[in-house]
Amino acid sequence: MEKYLSGIFTITTINQLTSDVYEMTIKGEATKYITNPGQFINIKINDSKEPYLRRPMSIARYFDDKIVFIFRVVGEGTKILSKKKVGEKLDCLVGLGNGFTPVGNGKALLIGGGLGTPPMYELGLQLKQMGVEVTTVLGFGTSDQLFYEDKFKELGPVFVATMDGSYGYKGTVIDVIKQENVEFDNYYACGPEPMLMALAKTYRQNGQLSYEARMGCGFGACMGCSCETLTGDKRICVEGPILRSDEVIIDG
Amino acid sequence: MANLRVKLPGLDMKNPVIPASGTFGFGYGFARFYDINILGSIMIKATTLEPRFGNPLPRIAEGPSGMLNAIGLQNPGIDVVLNESLEQLRPLYKDKVIANVAGSSLEEYVEVARRMSEHDMIGALEINISCPNVKAGGIQFGTDATMAATLTKAIKEVSKVPVYIKLSPNVTDIVEIAKAVEAAGADGITMINTLIGMRFDLKTGKPIIANKTGGYSGPAILPVALNLVYKVTKAVKIPVIGMGGISCGKDVIEMMIAGASAVAVGSQNLVDPFACMTIIEELNELLDQMGVSDINDIVGLSHQY
């Protein structure tokens, strides 16, 4: 019996992108449950009860039966994942969350902060296919954390900011947007919460922001990732991870 | 195929497997994964009089074979639960469900219990006197035998359906509290709620959970739950629905051997949305292998020891 939103995937490629960031491709029919860029998958790292919870991952690219995702080794779960071999199986819940709604007209600005960069790539490809002009701003801590710059260059102009100035512009993604007078009608962003908050404050309208949270389940059952918005309480895993910039509650 | 039917006060269940409160929402969300009519019953999300947003994030952390949560009883309040949440569940689930009742004061518990018990889909109440994640009420009633008995009596006076009390393991003597609620008229006991725990960030020393403490659940706590269910079922006559760390069919059998008349599956629903379905399938196979023709025959099998 086929299990809805769920499938067993086979690892087909593993590439190390930086000292602690990996790109993994997995193959499986359940890819069909993905409807929008910016949705996520939730991976059972092992068959055993350790680690217990699944690990949610954003999707960098998806094809008919393949998903590419990128992760950083931050703890035991991702460490085990990084040591998996091609051919090993992964139990995944697929097509979770609302995802981005690509707007088919005007100029688009993609903003990726650190490990928030991956989902912007699939979104950018889809926007480009819709004939939308795409500009990308990427923010990383240091130059050695940078990845995917070349891929985004295929979509349009790319500006990179690093906090220490070791590559590209020194400063935040917003510093770059302002310095370069980047023009856009709609923007899409994924990255650390302070970055998303700064964007929502600076550009209140026409933004779609992808949030991250510690999740128990990833499909709306545990209420572990609830957040308050101007349009009501939302679960990051179901009514998110994408929130509209004008519904985010601005702190302070 | 062995008989899986289990009869408890207010609950005539086709099998003893119930998703635990707080891990299954109001049930309808899981109907996209499988036909939830296969479930013995459903313990719906804890409900209070007014809507509650719950605790700040992070609310979730992990531990060895388990998880820590501090949701803080987020729920839409009883009006929405009665008029909307249960109506969404109605077309998807035919049997009686169990309402988990929470509150900050005796008056709130009694009012929520009274109104819940009048709803035609509710077969029994589960009184949550054991939530470790809220400041007022909750566990205060569950850690004091006198308060637990007073609350049980007050709810029994207004409830139209049988009343189960959900006990906390975070007490010195759970048997004392079990006996107190039995004497106060409880029709059954559900146990155990989560064990209070913490995790810290190594760099900053800050608790990972914003509420600082959370409730620990998952396979790691199964042996703790088995011990407490064993002790309580030896000491009381009312039935016990056993929970705490159940993740497979074998765990269900073990919990019933310990003395539980039925079981609830909690955290495992979050890791595997199909968990209850798989567990019910496993139960059938396991009982056949064991040569058991009626699951009720194994309840309290351990009590001879």
The ipTM estimated for the assembled molecules is 0.94
Q: What does the pLDDT average to over A181-192? A: 97
CA gap A30, A7 in Å, rounded: 5
Please indicate, yes or no, whether residues A91 and A128 belong to a single structural domain of this protein.
no
Same domain, A72 and A122: no
* Domain-embedded: residue A155: yes
Label the pairing between strands B262-265 and B17-19.
Answer: parallel
Note the CATH architecture for domain B6-304: Alpha-Beta Barrel (3.20)
Residues A54 and A143 in one domain: no
Q: Is the pLDDT of residue A150 over 70?
A: yes
User: Can you read off the two tokens belonging to residue B61?
Assistant: 């952390």
A49 and A10 both lie in a single domain:
yes
Q: Check whether residue A238 and residue A117 sit in a common domain.
A: yes
Q: What is the pLDDT of residues A218-245, one digit of tens each?
A: 999 999 999 999 999 999 999 999 999 9
- Considering the domain architecture, whether residues A240 and A117 belong to the same structural domain is answered as yes
Task: Tally A–B CB contacts below 8 A.
Answer: 98
Quick one: A38 and A111 in the same domain? no
B209 touches chain A (CB under 8 A): no
* Model pLDDT, residue A252: 60
**What pLDDT is recorded for position A23?**
98
Residue A161 falls inside a structural domain: yes
Residue A101 contacts B, CB cutoff 8 Å: no
pLDDT value at residue B46: 97
Chain B residues inside the 8 Å CB shell of A6: 33, 273-274
Count each helix (H run) and each strand (E run) in chain A, helices first.
5, 15
**What distance in Å separates the CA atoms of residue A119 and residue A62, rounded to the nearest whole number?**
10
Catalytic residues of B: 131
Closest partner CB to B271 (pick from A3, A54, A223): A54
Residues of chain B with pLDDT under 70: 135-137
Shared domain for A65 and A189, answered yes or no, is no
Q: Into how many domains does chain A fold?
A: 2
Residue A221 within any structural domain of the chain: yes
Contact predicate A40/A59, CB 8 Å: yes
At A167, which CATH number? Answer: 3.40.50.80
Average pLDDT rounded to a whole number, residues A135-159:
97
Q: Mean pLDDT throughout A94-111?
A: 97
Residue A101 domain-assigned (yes or no): no
Same domain, A57 and A114: no
Predicted pLDDT of residue B235: 98
| Closest Cβ–Cβ partner in B24, B71, B269 for A224 | B71
Q: Please tell me the predicted confidence (pLDDT) of residue B145.
A: 95
pLDDT of residue B1: 85
Claim to verify: residue A39 and residue A67 sit in the same structural domain: yes
Residue A173 lies in a domain: yes
Provide the percentage of residues in chain A whose pLDDT is more than 90: 97
B71, B133, B250, B270: which to substitute to probe chain A, counting the most A Cβ within 10 Å? Answer: B270
Q: Could you say which of A70, A96, A122 is where a domain stops?
A: A96
Domain boundary among A77, A96, A115: A96
Question: With bands split at pLDDT 50, 70 and 90, how would you rate the model's confidence at A2?
Answer: low
Structural domain includes residue A1: no
ω into residue B207 within 30 of 0, thus cis? no
Q: Which of A96, A116, A139 finishes a domain?
A: A96
The range of the structural domain enclosing residue A190 comes to 107-244
- Is residue A249 in a domain? no
Q: Rounded to an integer, what distance in angstroms lies between the CA atom of residue A127 and that of residue A105?
A: 9
How many CA atoms lie within 13 Å of A167's alpha carbon, on the beta-carbon side? 16
Q: Say if the Cβ atoms of A221 and B274 lie within 8 Å.
A: no
In chain A, which residue's Cα lies nearest the Cα of B214?
Answer: A224
Where b means 16+ CB within 10 Å and e means fewer, A226-241 reads bbeeeeeebbbbbbbb
Q: Are B80 and B51 in contact (CB under 8 A)?
A: yes
Q: Is residue A78 part of a domain?
A: yes
Q: What is the CATH number of the domain that holds A73?
A: 2.40.30.10
Confidence (pLDDT) at B136: 67
Structural contact between residues B255 and B263, judged by C-beta atoms closer than 8 angstroms: yes
Using one digit for the tens of pLDDT, what is the confidence trace for B82-135? 999 999 999 999 999 999 999 999 999 999 999 999 999 999 999 999 887 776
Do residue A136 and residue A63 come from a single domain?
no
Q: Is B64 on the interface with A (CB under 8 A)?
A: yes
Is the same domain home to A83 and A112?
no
